Amino acid sequence: MKKQFLEVGQIVSTHGIKGEIRLNPWCDSPAFLKQFRTLYFDNAGEKAIGVVSARPHSNIVIMKLEGVDTIEQAQALRNKILYINRDDVSKDTVFVQDLIDCEVRDAETDEVYGKIKRVSENPANNIWHIVNEKGEEFLFPAVKPFIEKADTDNCFVLIKPIKGMFGAAEEIRDED
């Protein structure tokens, strides 16, 4: 079952003297967090806080939260985790945690390559670690031209793999 409230970052310090915070974002881009008007201090959505402003600054987000008007108030929030409500995001948004354990299939042949066991973040794109039934791990670049469909509700992903990616050794033997 998908989580309703998702972790999006940790407050790492203050910014200035008027209560702004510095948030280390745990999402693809700091700019993603500009869209939210409400965040939460818990994963149940019971401790909501309004967002007055949010702006990306290098690899962090500088935020002004409702009711946090002094450096002391901001300092008291240090190391707290902030959450978003899944309902506040476009239905087309795919979260990394929803991809874990999704079955990966070939979009043309429906061949099953394995399941996504983890996702690594890299500067150019994320890398999916796909593990097959034999325990072999394959690294797959998670870029749009190679992904046909991600259906996290039904726990599968359809991909257009690079030739030889899932069995280069077998293909080489077949050519001999």
Q: Is 84 within 8 Å of 95 (Cβ atoms)?
A: no
The yes/no answer on whether domain 96-160 falls in CATH 2.30.30.240 is: yes
Residue 2 has pLDDT above 60, yes or no: yes
Burial of 106: CB neighbours in 10 Å, binned 0-12, 13-18, 19+? middle
Residue 171 has pLDDT above 50, yes or no: no
Question: Which of 114, 111, 121, 115 minimizes the C-alpha distance to 99?
Answer: 115
pLDDT in tens, 117-168: 999 888 788 899 999 999 999 999 998 899 999 988 899 999 998 888 887 5
Predicted confidence at residue 124, as pLDDT, reads 80
pLDDT in tens, 45-97: 999 999 999 999 988 999 999 999 999 999 999 999 999 999 999 887 888 88
Residue 172 has pLDDT above 80, yes or no: no
Rounded to whole angstroms, the Cα distance separating 44 from 53 reads 23
Question: Which of 95, 90, 11 minimizes the C-alpha distance to 51?
Answer: 11
Instruction: Indicate yes or no: pTM above 0.75.
Output: no
- Portions of the chain given CATH number 2.40.30.60: 5-88
Q: Is 10 within 8 Å of 69 (Cβ atoms)?
A: no
Rounded to whole angstroms, the Cα distance separating 45 from 72 reads 25
The one-letter amino acid at 38 = T
Rounded to whole angstroms, the Cα distance separating 114 from 136 reads 9
- Portions of the chain given CATH number 2.30.30.240: 96-160
Q: pLDDT-derived band of residue 174, with 50, 70 and 90 as boundaries?
A: very low
Predicted confidence at residue 157, as pLDDT, reads 94
Give the domain 5-88 fold.
Answer: Elongation Factor Tu (Ef-tu); domain 3 (2.40.30)
Residue 176 has pLDDT above 80, yes or no: no
